[in-house]
Structure 1
């Protein structure tokens, strides 16, 4: 392990952690020094820290934190380098950072952090920005998309010492937006600042166009092998949960696919819903046919995917659980392959490619996912003690992502695997086949966006992200009515819809 001590943009010392001996380097800036160190020590972990943190590094946790080579982690206990206005640009869950858990983000800090030399040696451009913090954020933003796992990691330090932080300005923010997002986001940042903060940032806006976009090829990290040092059980037992409503034929095909698995599930937990009071189960084949696993079947008149999934999750007994859907199809290697990858990457949550039969797979890189799917994901049973599907999202939108974000807040990252994949048939007779009354259905002014989407934003996103979403949503709705309504009328109607959504969001927010 090589240790780089710095005072922001000045190198204080470079040493070998084994014997404390000094490492000679030519570089004058920390960002340049990282690449020089990586070339000299291609199999070493490189740690950077501010001089104020001498004696405060938690060396005992490093082996657990950097449990495979494709991990970059850093930490600052109170601040982030990028201005909060980055939320106008970035709508991902990687912006609002809890500081008490391991949390996925590209927002890196120069206070303390680390990266494996083999990753640095894959960078074909060797960008070495004058600001060390800008460099670290840029590196993480580029490589997170192509498979580098980036985290805010409080375990890097023994204690949270009071310290200052290198902070970006609007020139840095506009430059960062220009170099790491599509060009339209530079304009959106400019107008969001003007509309919401009455800031006219013309010079930073123009300054950003002096820089070109930074972009890494999807295969840039392919040479870096992943093998987590985290131990995993040899049995890797797994249960499957399936909520279903009126899809007898499709569910049968799912059970047949599960029966053909080379690694069979222990239990398949089915929660069948039918809200009609005199109805009964239609799944006769659950008992009339032999199955190579135990089937736990619950029939309920209470409809709702959140309720059904929570019932099923409460019955899980195996080490792992597959959140399945009743109109999926998959190959017989699905379970064995996904459990192998979970062990390889040392993770607790995995999600797969989930396309309809006619869709083309475009995302082909293993990476930290910003979304979560309740029909194509796998998680460790231990997580179920801390999270569940929120009934406030029942019959609305966003329950999947809320569940995934609950896990992130508890310190569990969601990793996407392009293979093996699951096909989602999206059965035409599926979904909500019974009309469900919502509290706002009879309102003269309809809440837009959906109050449950507003609730998701309120629970998990920053103020700037919500305002940025509002700005984009305004123009998307206007675009669909561009020739039908003038902008002033649209603005007035939009504000009424938004306020209605916000009102009903607060109503359902109190329904705990």
Structure 2
């Protein structure tokens, strides 16, 4: 590993002494294209950082903890903004006390982006650009700093990494929520062009592989009134080249007198253990939590009851887990005639409980939140629990599961909530408000509120803006009120 030390962004030692740190990094990477590089401030003891990064994979870009600028939350609605400073957290946001990056990645970037004279801007720009291209970006809870971009650079950042309209939205948010009008920063940003980079997947493929071994996994499947579809799923598992240890099926039927539809579970033989739990309560969160409590394997595959998949699916999964060193892998979940063309592996802003595999270390800390039962956001919340526990979610687009979206069964009946009969219905739904209040920053919540306000203004009949504003405020307050009462037993 090559060390580059700098003070006030100027290299303090070695052959690049006196050169600006970004220019030095570009030169160093060109001269040492196969080396990892660590950039550290001269007055920083990087021992804790080096210990935390361990032996990272080639596609990693890791820095110390930094808060960036709260204003970014107004315009980015992703899990990468509310960052935990207690664990290794997946995010494109970067600090400058210390960061690790591989020379091959730097060379890809330097060929497309000129060396910046502002290190904080450069590391965050690079993080924002390369994360969606397959580079795994993290912050570590060490060497913590609060080095924020000024508004001049914030507006420039938004202009160069988002659509132009978001600079207008940011200005609007600053005016409404902070009573500020940084017009000069806004106007200056308009002269910059949007940035983009291309990263060759081939340079990211030289990963550190874990030792190959048998994939020990259980499968959990909640099901409701889909016996034929579930049967096909189980038969697909029978054909797997890597068989599960157990398949846990939680069958739901709200009728207290109902009997199981899954008689074939006992009537037929299976090459794996089947655990069948029949309950008279509906709800995917509860069903999955019950199923998770019955698992014992190191890995758990979360699955839906209307999936179809090839016989080498789990062999592909085992290979991907070794390559990415991930403990949470999301598979491509494609519907009929849908095509996923992406190649490689990516950090994923989502989580899907219909086609994901998760390690026991995560499941010992995370459960589906019953406050979101029968509503929306349980998968997004589970994903945030994973990230806040110090793990990442990786997307494998080339490993594909076909989701049939069965026209029968499942959770199709509309659940009647206590707020359903109110004169002014809560907006957004209390479950969405609960999830956003729990998992986003105040700036993100305010940005979402303004987006929702504008979106629904043009979709409803109340065209008097003042009347609509009063109505929306009441609907928003109602949502906050009901969200604070979740979960509600009805």
Q: TM-score, normalised by structure 2?
A: 0.95
Residue in 2 aligned with 1:194? Answer: 175
- Does the CA contact (< 8 Å) of 1:455 and 1:509 recur in 2? no
| 1:479 Cα deviation from its structure 2 partner | 2.2
State the partner residue of 1:91: 77
Could you list the per-position Cα deviations for residues 366-424 of structure 1 after superposition, in whole angstroms to 9, with x for gaps in the alignment? 21101100101001122211011111111010011111110100001000010111111
Deviation at 1:232, TM superposition (A): 4.7
Residue of structure 1 equivalent to 2:202: 222
Quote the residue 1:31 is aligned against.
Answer: 22
SS at match of 2:255: coil
Pick one of 100, 113, 119 that aligns with 1:114.
100
* 1:131 matches 2:109: no
* 2:169 is the alignment partner of 1:145: no
Is the 8 Å Cα contact of residues 112 and 197 (structure 2) preserved in structure 1? no
Distance in 2 between the 1:226 and 1:274 partners? 49
Q: How does 1:270-285 map to 2 (within 5 A)?
A: 270-285=249-264
1:495 correspondence with 2:476: no
Shift of 1:326: 0.5
Displacement of 1:436:
3.3
> How far apart are 1:258 and its partner, in Å?
1.1
RMSD: 1.9
CA separation in 2, counterparts of 1:479 and 1:237?
Answer: 52
1:35–1:126 CA contact under 8 A, matched in 2: no
Contact 2:297 2:360 in 1 (8 A): yes
1:252 is aligned to 231
Instruction: From the superposition, tell whether residues 509 and 129 of structure 1 become closer, same or farther in structure 2 (CA, over 3 Å).
Output: farther
State the alpha-carbon separation in 2 of the partners of residues 277 and 245 from structure 1. 14
> Structure 1 residue 350: deviation in Å?
0.2
Counterpart-to-counterpart distance in 1, 2:217 and 2:16: 51
Task: State the SS of the aligned residue for 1:52.
Answer: coil
* Equivalent position to 2:383, from 396, 400, 404: 404
> Structure 1 regions of 5+ residues with no counterpart?
14-21
Match of 1:381 in 2: 360
Question: 2:161, 2:312 → 1: CA distance?
Answer: 37
Rounded Cα–Cα distance in structure 2 between residues aligned with 1:8 and 1:261: 57
Other-structure match for 1:17: none
Q: What is the aligned residue count?
A: 488
Q: CA separation of 1:125/1:385 partners in 2, compared to 1, >3 Å: closer, same or farther?
A: same
From 255, 267, 276, give the equivalent of 1:288: 267
CA distance in 2, matches of 1:324, 1:381: 16
SS of residue in 2 equivalent to 1:122: helix
Matched residues in 2 for 1:186 and 1:362: separation? 31
TM-score by length of 1: 0.91
Partner of 1:18: none
- Distance in 1, matches of 2:364 and 2:401, equals 27
Shift in alpha-carbon separation, 1:196–1:509, aligned structure 2, 3 A: farther
Partner of residue 37 from structure 2, selected from 37, 40, 46: 46
1:487 Cα deviation after fit: 2.4
Task: State how far apart, in whole Å, the 1-side matches of 2:18 and 2:417 are.
Answer: 63
What is the SS of the residue equivalent to 2:100?
strand
| Alpha-carbon contact 1:387-1:403 (below 8 Å) kept | yes
Which residue in 2 is equivalent to 1:205?
186
Q: 1:73 aligned to 62, 82, 100, which one?
A: 62
Q: Does 1:342 align with 2:321?
A: yes
Q: Which residue among 423, 428, 444 is the counterpart of 2:407?
A: 428
Q: In 2, distance between residues paired with 1:126 and 1:433?
A: 50
Contact 1:111 1:165 survives alignment (8 Å): no
Paired position in structure 2 for 1:19: none
Per the alignment, residue 441 of structure 2 pairs with 462
Residue 172 of structure 1 aligns with which residue?
153
Does residue 507 of the first structure (1) align with residue 485 of the second (2)? yes
Residue matched to 1:308: 287
Q: Distance between the aligned counterparts of 1:464 and 1:257, measured in 2?
A: 46
Q: How far apart in 2 are the matches of 1:285 and 1:509? A: 35
Give the CA deviation at 1:138. 0.4
**2: CA distance between counterparts of 1:47 and 1:347?**
23
8 Å contact from structure 2 (residues 34, 102) kept in 1: yes
Residues 49 and 257 of structure 1: CA distance in aligned 2, closer, same or farther (over 3 Å): same
Deviation at 1:355, TM superposition (A): 2.1
Change (3 A) 1:407 1:62: closer
**Deviation (angstroms), 1:257:** 1.3
Query: Partners of 1:176 and 1:444 in 2: how far apart?
Result: 43
SS at match of 2:248: strand
The 1:184–1:379 alpha-carbon spacing in structure 2 relative to 1, beyond 3 Å, is: same
Give the Å deviation of 1:318. 1.3
Shift of 1:59: 3.5
CA deviation after TM superposition for structure 1 residue 465, in Å: 0.2
Matched, 1:101 2:82: no
**Shift, 1:146, TM fit:** 0.4
